[in-house]
Amino acid sequence: MGPETNPSTVTEAIARLRVDRDDLARSLTETYFADHPEFESEHPPQARLRTREDFGYLVDFLVGALAAGNPATFVDMVLWTAHVLENRRIPRPVLVDSLHRIEREITSRYAEPMAAQATRYLAIGVGALNLPAGATPIKAAAMPQLDHASRIYLQAILQGDRQAALSVASEALASGTRIADVYLNMIQTSMYEVGRRWEANQITVADEHLATAITQWVLAQLYDRLDIPNPHRGRVIVTGIEGELHQVGANMVADMLESDGWNVRFLGANVPHQAVLQSIDDHEASVLGISTTMLIHLPNVDRLVADAKQRFGSDLRVIVGGAAFRGDPGLAERIGADAFARDLNGAVETLRNIA
Ligand code: B12
C-alpha cells in the first residue's frame, strides 16, 4: 500500500468495483454509443459487445492494481493495452478517452474517499499515456534470444507440427541438455515469443492456441523422460488461481518439483477456491504453490492465501509465482505468501529452503 492510502477504503473500493464490474462496463458502453451514434453503423454488429468487454478489462486491470497496492502495475497494464490497440490501428487517444470515462463514472457513482482511490490510479494511467512518445516507458517486448534449436521448436509449434516440436526437444535431451533447461530455454522462451507475436498482431489467436496445445502435448511426452525419485521431501499442491487460464508455467513447476522428490498434485488452472482448500486437506499438503499470470486475479490470490493460512496455520507454506508477481518483488510478501519464485529453477531452490 502507498503511504497515503487507507487500507479499509482500498479494500472497499476493490470489493465494490468487483461487484459492479459488469454493470460499470454496460453503462460505460451505453454512454459511449450514445456519444458516438455513428459508431454502430461503421463497425460490425458485435462492436457493442467488444466495447463492453474492453471496458470490463480496464476495470479488471484497475481492480488488480488496487489489490497489488501499486499504481505502477496499472501503468504497465495500460501501456500494454495501448501497445495492443496501436498494433490494431486503434490510436492512443481512444484509450485515454476510455480511462477518463471510467474516472467520471466512478466519481459519479461512489462516495469519496472510495472513488478517490480508484481515480488516483486512473489519473496515473492517463499521465503515462500522455507522455511524449519517446519518453513513454513502454516495455516494448523484445524478441527473446532464441538459439537455433529453440527457433525450430517455435516454428514447429506455430506451424502445427507436433512431431517436429517433440523431435527437437528430444534431440536437445539426447545431446545432454538438462530437461529443466529444455523447459526454460526452449519451451518457455518460445511461448513468450508466441505471446509477443500475438501482442504485435503478427499471429492470430488460433495460431497461439495451436502452439499452446502442442506445447502441452510435448510437456506430457517429456514427463515420461523425467527421473522421478521416491518422494522424500513432502506433499505439495500446485494450482492456477481461480479465474486464471494460463497453466503451462504451473505445469512445468509441478513437474520439476516432482523430479526433485516432492509428492505433487497439480490441479491445473482456474480451480475454484473451496476446491483448492479441500485438496490441501485431502493431500495433507505442507506446501501450496499458486500460479497467477494475470494481475486481475490478484484479489482471488489474496483471499486464497488468507483462507489457507487461517485454516492450516503455519503448517502450510505458500509459494507464489507467475507473471503477475514478476514485476513487483514485494507483492508476494504483501499478500501474505511465504515466498515467491521467478521460474522453475527458483521454485525448486526456494522449496528446498522454506519447507
Ligand atoms: C498461451 C497463452 C494463453 C492461453 C493459455 C492456455 C493454457 N492452457 O495455458 C489462453 C488462450 C487461455 C490465454 C488467455 C489470455 N491471455 Co494469454 N498468453 C499465453 C502466452 C502466449 C503463453 C503463456 C505461457 O505458456 N508461458 C510460458 C510459461 C512457462 O511461462 P510462465 O507462465 O511465466 O511460467 C514460469 C514462471 O512464471 C514461473 N511460475 C509460473 N507459475 C508458477 C507457480 C509457482 C508456485 C511458482 C513458484 C512459479 C511459477 O515458473 C514458470 C516456469 O519457469 C502468454 C505469453 C507470455 N509471455 O507468457 C500470453 C499472455 C500471458 N496472455 C495475455 C493475455 C492478455 C491474455 C488474455 C487477457 C487475452 C484475452 N483478451 O482473452 C487471456 C486471459 C485469460 C485468463 N483469464 O487468465 C498477455 C498478458 C499481458 C499482461 N501484461 O498481463 C500475455 C503476456 C500475451 C502478451 N504478450 O500480450 N493466454
Check residue 310 and give its pLDDT: 96
Check residue 128 and give its pLDDT: 84
CA 325 to chain centre: 8
Q: Atom 27 (ligand 1): residue with closest C-alpha? A: 188
219 lines ligand 1 (CB under 6 A): no
* DSSP H or E stretch at residue 287: strand 287-291
Cα of 192 vs centre of ligand 1, distance in Å, is: 8
Check residue 147 and give its pLDDT: 86
Check residue 1 and give its pLDDT: 35
Cα of 182 vs centre of ligand 1, distance in Å, is: 18
211 lines ligand 1 (CB under 6 A): no
Query: Quick check: helix, strand or coil at residue 330?
Result: coil
Cα of 181 vs centre of ligand 1, distance in Å, is: 19
189 lines ligand 1 (CB under 6 A): no
Q: Using the CB atoms, write b or e for 286-321: b if 16+ within 10 Å.
A: bbbbbbbbbbbbbbbbbebbeebbeebeeebbbbbb
Check residue 7 and give its pLDDT: 65
Cα of 3 vs centre of ligand 1, distance in Å, is: 31
194 lines ligand 1 (CB under 6 A): yes
305 lines ligand 1 (CB under 6 A): no
Check residue 113 and give its pLDDT: 82
Query: Quick check: helix, strand or coil at residue 188?
Result: helix
24 lines ligand 1 (CB under 6 A): no
| DSSP string computed for 4-51 | T--HHHHHHHHHHHHHHHHHHHHHHHHHHHHH-HHHHHHS-TTHHHHH
Instruction: Give the span between the Cα atoms of 73 and 88, in whole angstroms.
Output: 23
351 lines ligand 1 (CB under 6 A): no
Cα of 325 vs centre of ligand 1, distance in Å, is: 12
pLDDT (tens place) for every residue of the chain, 355 residues total: 333 456 678 888 899 999 999 999 999 999 999 998 887 777 777 888 989 999 999 999 999 999 888 888 888 889 889 988 888 888 999 999 999 999 999 999 998 888 998 999 999 899 888 876 544 444 444 556 788 899 899 999 999 999 999 999 999 999 999 999 999 999 999 999 999 999 888 899 999 999 999 999 999 999 999 999 999 999 999 999 999 999 999 999 999 999 999 999 999 999 999 999 999 999 999 999 999 999 899 999 999 999 999 999 999 999 999 999 988 878 999 999 999 999 999 999 999 998 6
Cα of 342 vs centre of ligand 1, distance in Å, is: 14
Atom in ligand 1 nearest the alpha carbon of residue 295? 84
| DSSP string computed for 136-159 | -----PPPP---HHHHHHHHHHHH
Atom in ligand 1 nearest the alpha carbon of residue 243? 77
80 lines ligand 1 (CB under 6 A): yes
Cα of 213 vs centre of ligand 1, distance in Å, is: 13
CA 30 to chain centre: 29
Query: Quick check: helix, strand or coil at residue 53?
Result: helix
249 lines ligand 1 (CB under 6 A): yes
Cα of 92 vs centre of ligand 1, distance in Å, is: 24
Check residue 137 and give its pLDDT: 42
Check residue 189 and give its pLDDT: 95
- The pTM (predicted TM-score) of the whole model is 0.83
Cα of 322 vs centre of ligand 1, distance in Å, is: 8
320 lines ligand 1 (CB under 6 A): yes
